[in-house]
Amino acid sequence: MRKKKIKSLVLFGNGINCEHETAYANKLAGFEADIVHVDEMMKHPKSIHRYAFINFPGGFLDGDDLGSAKAQAVKWKYQSIEGSGGRFLDELIKFISHGKIIIGICNGFQLLVKTGLLPGIGGEHEKQTTTLTANDSGRFEDRWVTLRVNQGSHCIFTKDMDKIYLPVRHGEGKCVVDTTDNRARMIDGGHIVMQYADEAGAVTEAYPDNPNGSIDSVAGLCDETGRIFGLMPHPEAFVHYTQHPRWTREALGVEGDGLKLFNNAYKYILENETGGF
């Protein structure tokens, strides 16, 4: 039976470099993915409402000037859209208010955090309370990690998931929170979706299982709706068993762990009829 085509948006340009892998993961899950340049999207911001799902892929947006994804976040928060007087961040908030979904991967996660869309404590999507900063190791980390999915999270992307295995590749992945109060609210509010774990699946802050030194071993966060999700690992880089580093030595299912996130996104939109298709 053919899947119903649901339109998704995948950004590229200005340093984003994982758009084709991300679009392919969308396609495997059933989406009809359009790859659109970030500058083109800024020229026509209301065009995002044609879609049900927005993907902010990994890369080095704007060359990571001012820090990872900071330059673009500043534009989205403070720059008025030509001809409308509003901000692009306003359109994203409206997009979410319509029941639609957003994922930010690695650099895309950094972007969502620095706009304030994540973790969105108390439903506040404009105030930055969290950042992703330089790894404790002082170097770029390129390795595979085990992730424990927080069963107390309401993230729609990780439904029926427990432990998964994905690659990371970043220099600024350490999650820190501005105040102890916000850290507690982030934990108590179910914003922590994924945590770095050892091979047995036990959450750990020890390097290299936790590759960057994130507080509370944070690898991924969601907002209160569970429909905005960001993570440092790359799910689009493990959608087929041959992408696993030990695929010739271990018995694996055909689908990679990362594809589960995109499958859940597709199922959520289809079941909730959030439009965009």
What are the residue numbers of the active site?
Answer: 106, 234, 236
DSSP 273: T
Q: Which of 199, 147, 154, 151 is nearest to 173 (CA)?
A: 147
Cα–Cα dist 206/247, whole Å: 26
Q: Which of 85, 62, 84 is nearest to 73 (CA)?
A: 62
Distances (CA, A) of 52 to 98, 223, 258: 9, 17, 20
Cis upstream peptide for 211 (omega within 30°): no
Distances (CA, A) of 226 to 27, 104, 133: 22, 13, 23
